[in-house]
Amino acid sequence: MTKRKIVVAITGASGAIYAKLLLEKLQQLSGQITEVALVMSDNAKQVWQFELDNNNYDQYPYKIYPKHDFMAPFASGSARFDTMVIVPCSMGTLGRIASGTSDDLITRAADVILKERRKLILVARDTPLNLIHIRNMQTITEAGGIICPAVPSYYSKPKTIEELAMTVVNRVIDLIGLAHESYRWNEE
């Protein structure tokens, strides 16, 4: 199995728990990963603090790049990061990606991933959706991105909010292409 180089971007949409659980899961799967790079919007840091009651986003063993650091390796296709996950992905970020507006490192990296025909996974976190959101999702899908709404599943009978959120994170891990143990429908 090819080891992955992954960019994780966190935006200011509600759902910091998804980012936290993804970072923890990536640590557990580190043998399948060459590198994880992290970038956060200012709003993401505020939402993390508000929703999770801590500022522990810097406790992970990943380099955090400033949101306007266009010298970050993944701002260029030559760095060969093969996957980018934006979790949670705000509708503002999704819209800027759909329009090709690279005004910060998150949107620039997403643009690079799309132009290089690599894997872009947007964990969209908003409801309800208006027609602009839906059309932006269509544009990103047609450009090769994957929209993975933060919609948890219940058939694994989650008992805690973490278990419930993990149903989304496990889908993201599957989309990245990492081998892991998780509940599978109708399997013993």
Q: How far apart are CA 17 and CA 123, in angstroms?
A: 12
* Model confidence pLDDT, tens digit, residues 33-53: 999 999 999 999 999 999 999
Following DSSP, what letter does each residue of 13-30 receive, concatenated? SS-HHHHHHHHHHHHHTG
pLDDT band at 184 (very low <50, low <70, confident <90, very high): confident
* Model confidence pLDDT, tens digit, residues 96-140: 999 999 999 999 999 999 999 999 999 999 999 999 999 999 999
Return mean pLDDT, the chain: 96
Strand 4-10, strand 83-89: pairing: parallel
Q: How crowded is residue 152: how many other Cβ atoms within 10 Å of its Cβ?
A: 17
Q: How far apart are CA 157 and CA 139, in angstroms?
A: 34
pTM of the entire structure?
Answer: 0.96
Q: In the prediction, which pLDDT does 161 show?
A: 97
pLDDT band at 21 (very low <50, low <70, confident <90, very high): very high
- Asked if pLDDT for residue 188 goes beyond 80, the answer is no
Following DSSP, what letter does each residue of the chain receive, concatenated? -PPEEEEEEE-SSS-HHHHHHHHHHHHHTGGGEEEEEEEE-HHHHHHHHHHHSS-GGG-SSSEEEPTT-TTSGGGSGGG---EEEEEEE-HHHHHHHHHT---SHHHHHHHHHHHTT-EEEEEE--SS--HHHHHHHHHHHHTT-EE-------TT---SHHHHHHHHHHHHHHHHT-------TT--
Report domain extents, the chain.
33-92+102-176
Q: In the prediction, which pLDDT does 2 show?
A: 83
Give the mean pLDDT of 64-89: 97
CATH number of 33-92+102-176: 3.40.50.1950
Q: In the prediction, which pLDDT does 186 show?
A: 75
- Asked if pLDDT for residue 1 goes beyond 80, the answer is no
